[in-house]
Amino acid sequence: MNLYGSYRALLGNAIAALSAAIEIYNKPRISYREECSVILLINAWELLLKAVLSKNRRRIYYPKLRNKPYRTYSIDDALKKVEPLFPGSVDYLPTAHNIRLLKLYRDNAIHFYNDSILDTVLYSLAQTAIVNFRDVVVAVFDRDVVKEITVSLLPLSVAPPVDPIQFLAPIAGKCRTSIGAKEFAGSLVSMVQETENCGFDAGRLLTVFDVHLASVKKVSSADLVVGIDSSQVGKGRIVVHKTQDPNITHPLRECDIVSRKNGSVNSGLGLIIGGSPLTQHPFRALTWKYSAKANRQYCWEDKSGQVTRYSRDYISFLKRLSDEAVDEAISQHKAWMKERARQRKSGANRD
């Protein structure tokens, strides 16, 4: 009996369930939309947690009971078992709280029903769960689901944006709503407070979106911009852009990534790229070769150009490179450096 299962099969089904959840939620007219989406979303997370356990050769089954079939872990137990294996780039506590809140909604949907007032804040929880899902898959399996499915949930409405915490505060109080809604609201508020008190990123529990609909050229700064770019006549492209704190999205400096040539302990991330430690020279060669500094997903620079930071997505990209690609980048970068030095010397002689 294989007590670990196949992490590839588990991961594949997890991504398929996530894709189905997003597709159903984004349908403009469908009854039972929120319930179906959350059921699939929790299904996706349960499979992903078991995939993480399986990849690390941890069992995903309960101990066998006599005259009973084997049973895999419930999502609650899988969530507990996976904690020591959780990637450091994703805060476990708020992510677990987010999953538990969605599970509470799912359980009510399956066994009872949910107060329709909770649909207002469900989007924020679901979107956060999807972002967390993607980040865990990237960190553990070095696979980006963005390339396989569309992970955008952006319902447009004539109503103004809603802050879920402010919206739920009176529900958790004495206003007339169902007991289930009050319990849900109270759980959410207390979980947010616990997350913040522990110093974790509350964005892993709940994402608050401030959406503005405007002409792209007239917007100088916003958290999230949804606009119509009319610069190309007849095409009317929709542009979606979200700005985030680069300390969160791009936390790594070059010195945090590269290893020192002298092999100093605790230098860099200890990456082996192209069969050798990733020192400064190959790192800069690869960054030049693949124009990483021009890719906002991989690199962020301040306006002065003095501060440069890289994302964990860039680290995942580097890990996927073949030895041949690394050697080619180093060779081409060396030739480019020589040519640039020659041109500079030639220009200095003319002066």
296-328: string of b/e by CB count within 10 Å (b at 16+)? eebbbeeeeeeebbbbbbbbbbbeebeeebbee
Ramachandran assignment for 15, one of left (phi > 0), alpha (psi -120 to 50 degrees), beta (any other): alpha
Short-list 218, 244, 250, CA closest to 231: 218
* pLDDT reported for residue 28: 73
110 phi, psi to nearest 5 deg: -75, -45
User: Could you say which residues of the chain have pLDDT below 70?
Assistant: 116-120, 150-182, 196, 199, 201-202, 207-245, 262-267, 348-351
* pLDDT reported for residue 230: 45
The contacts of residue 43 (CB under 8 Å, 6+ apart) are: 17
**Alpha helices (H) along 211-322:** 246-249, 254-257, 280-289, 312-320
* pLDDT reported for residue 207: 64
Rounded to 5 degrees, what angle do the CA atoms 85, 91, 96 make?
80
Residue at token pair 């989406």 = 37
* pLDDT reported for residue 312: 84
Paired tokens of 77? 């137990």
Paired tokens of 216? 């792209």
pLDDT digits (tens, 9 = 90+) for 124-167: 888 889 989 999 999 999 998 877 775 454 443 334 444 454 44
**pTM of the complete model:** 0.55
* pLDDT reported for residue 81: 95
* pLDDT reported for residue 320: 84
Cα–Cα distance between 267 and 261 in angstroms, integer?
Answer: 10
Cα–Cα distance between 32 and 25 in angstroms, integer?
Answer: 10
Cα–Cα distance between 237 and 99 in angstroms, integer?
Answer: 35
Question: Do 269 and 257 contact (CB within 8 A), yes or no?
Answer: yes
DSSP state of 218: G
* pLDDT reported for residue 246: 77
Is 240 strand, coil or helix?
strand
* pLDDT reported for residue 164: 52
* pLDDT reported for residue 41: 95
